[in-house]
Structure 1
Amino acid sequence: MTTQASRPNIAHRIGGSSVFKKFMNGYWYPLLTRKLHGDDVVFLNYGYEEDPAMGIPLDADDEDNRYWIQMYHATATQVDLAGERVLEVSCGHGGGASYLMRTQRPASYTGLDFNAEGIEFCERRHQMPGLDFVHGDAEDLPMADGSIDAVVNIEASHAYGQLPRFLTEVARVLRPGGHFLYTDFRGRDEVPGWEATLADAPLRQLACREINGDVVRGMERNADRSLELIRRVLPSFLRPFGKQFAGVPGSGVYHDLETGKISYRIYLFTKD
């Protein structure tokens, strides 16, 4: 999940994406990192569950995070990552990076995020050979041209100030034949512009599917844990915002996904 700005329908309620972006970057994400550190919360996405259930095998230590993990699994396993050099842009608290490193066996995996406190958390929490974390900007990636085999980006790009610039950076750091494994959402009225931006990017689309139902099921399965965390770690004045951010049933985000006012999609791109 992004640490560079906000979810669009929440931003619209507060009024002004630039102001909201400053709030998210300067206050919200660092606050989450500090508040959730003791609870070992390592995933920040909405969650994902298919019908019938995915049922992917998980280690016992991963089971509590099943529905957040399944978002990563559905996105990143569109290609074989074994032996690849992988970059995740907006890695959040690093749970997806750890899961993919352990299960998909890339040669290396770098998680990048704009939240410096989140990166410090990742460095303490997720320590294994081949996995590293770096503080950086999605629109100015600190990687050399053609140095990456696969870029992962999950539930983040809706918050970037310049999506075309991010996509150009993805293409720059990918080697020819490399893959962009991409999951995100937009309001239904934003979809034509989103599609046009993706079509103009220096990447070729290989696959796309809408996953609203899968995300709604993930939200429902995660609801009890999310609500318990919100009640325990957030002051009362922030709890309504926390419920929107987590997408719990009854929130505006949940309603908009359930009714189709938001389109949530998984994409696969390659660089020719």
Structure 2
Amino acid sequence: MASRLFSGMLDAIDRGAFPRTRKWAWRGVYNMLSRFWRDDDWRFMNYGFLPPGAPFALRAEDEPERAFIGLYQQAVDGLPVAGARVLEVGSGRGGGSRYIARYHAPAQMVGLDYSPDTVRRARQLNADTPALSFETGDAEHLPFPDGSFDIVVNIESSHCYADVAAFAAEVSRVLAPGGWFTFADMRRRGQLPELNSQLSTPGLTLESACELSPGVVAALDASERRKRERIGRALFMKSFITEFAGAKGSIIYKALVRGDAAYVACRYRKTGTAEQS
């Protein structure tokens, strides 16, 4: 039953059906998970990414989260984060924003999420991190003035939005001239041209794009045992959570392995130069 429900949700997303309802439904899912999945050592809700080659440096206490942190490391690697004003849209439980704040020394790190319960949970889990704050808000109507940020991060969140093009336009608006927008998410392969069109908004220039799928599958494999332990402790909806988490055998896991779905990463730059901001 859970697999059929999740498959139906994915099919509706593919068709672009009921976008406003979809947005509301995803917020309900994340509110529910924040209320009932209360593990204090679980700050991430993404599928993760393990890049090829030598592993990037992490402190010993962060090693259990390496698979999930990988998506954020690839997102900001090489960007001028030190001293920058950084916004993460769709920050979830806050692990990614916390990683950027602790490892890359931004002047300001703001995490924004549509789910009020998730924002409350993020504040509890990450209260020990300076220069980090969390706010509730809508990705399609960002509650910030023009030019407020130097970098906007968006990881595995855009599939929940009703209007991705409106989100991209808002990113362009809140970025300062010369600022960076770094994006990663998954789509059915046939949806990629539409996604590219949605993100191609005036004021943003595509600088790079790549597919992360093999590294995402590697991360899912690496985190499988830990996820199964958490799912085993759940009191209800175990099958749905298994699908949601991308565990082995789930619809999303199989789609990534077969190549029916693709996990992509893109970087865009705001027109203009930093001196103009």
Q: TM-score, normalised by structure 1?
A: 0.90
Structure 1 unaligned segments of length 5 or more: list them: 1-7
How far residue 117 of structure 1 moved from its aligned partner, in angstroms, is 1.0
How far residue 260 of structure 1 moved from its aligned partner, in angstroms, is 1.1
Change beyond 3 A, Cα 1:153–1:255: same
> What residue in structure 1 maps to residue 93 of structure 2?
93
* Structural mapping, 1:30-69, within 5 Å: 30-52=31-53, 54-69=54-69
Asked if 1:172 corresponds to 2:176, the answer is no
Three-state SS of the structure 1 residue aligned to 2:99 is: helix
Change beyond 3 A, Cα 1:85–1:34: same
Paired residue type of 1:82: A
* Structural mapping, 1:109-258, within 5 Å: 109-127=109-127, 128-235=129-236, 238-258=237-257
Distance 1:203 1:256 in 2: 30
Paired residue type of 1:151: V
Three-state SS of the structure 2 residue aligned to 1:51 is: coil
1:72-128 Cα shifts (integer Å, max 9, x gaps): 111122412000000000000001111110100000000000111111112122123
How far residue 17 of structure 1 moved from its aligned partner, in angstroms, is 5.0
Distance 1:159 1:201 in 2: 22
How far residue 188 of structure 1 moved from its aligned partner, in angstroms, is 1.1
Percent identity, aligned pairs only? 35
Three-state SS of the structure 1 residue aligned to 2:93 is: coil
8 Å Cα contact 1:89/1:138 also seen in 2? yes
8 Å Cα contact 2:172/2:201 also seen in 1? no
How far residue 170 of structure 1 moved from its aligned partner, in angstroms, is 0.2
8 Å Cα contact 1:167/1:201 also seen in 2? no
- The farther-off stretch of 81-90 and 126-135 is 126-135
Structure 2 unaligned segments of length 5 or more: list them: 1-5, 272-277
Q: TM-score, normalised by structure 2?
A: 0.89
8 Å Cα contact 2:85/2:151 also seen in 1? yes
How far residue 234 of structure 1 moved from its aligned partner, in angstroms, is 4.2
How far residue 266 of structure 1 moved from its aligned partner, in angstroms, is 1.0
Distance 1:241 1:234 in 2: 12
Distance 1:78 1:11 in 2: 36
> What residue in structure 2 maps to residue 12 of structure 1?
10
Distance 2:88 2:261 in 1: 24
> What residue in structure 2 maps to residue 3 of structure 1?
none
* Structural mapping, 1:60-79, within 5 Å: 60-79=60-79
Change beyond 3 A, Cα 1:59–1:205: same
8 Å Cα contact 2:108/2:132 also seen in 1? yes
Provide the aligned C-alpha RMSD in A.
2.0
> What residue in structure 2 maps to residue 5 of structure 1?
none
Distance 2:79 2:8 in 1: 33
- The farther-off stretch of 198-207 and 93-102 is 198-207
> What residue in structure 1 maps to residue 3 of structure 2?
none
After TM superposition, the runs of 4+ consecutive aligned structure 1 residues lying more than 6 A away are: none
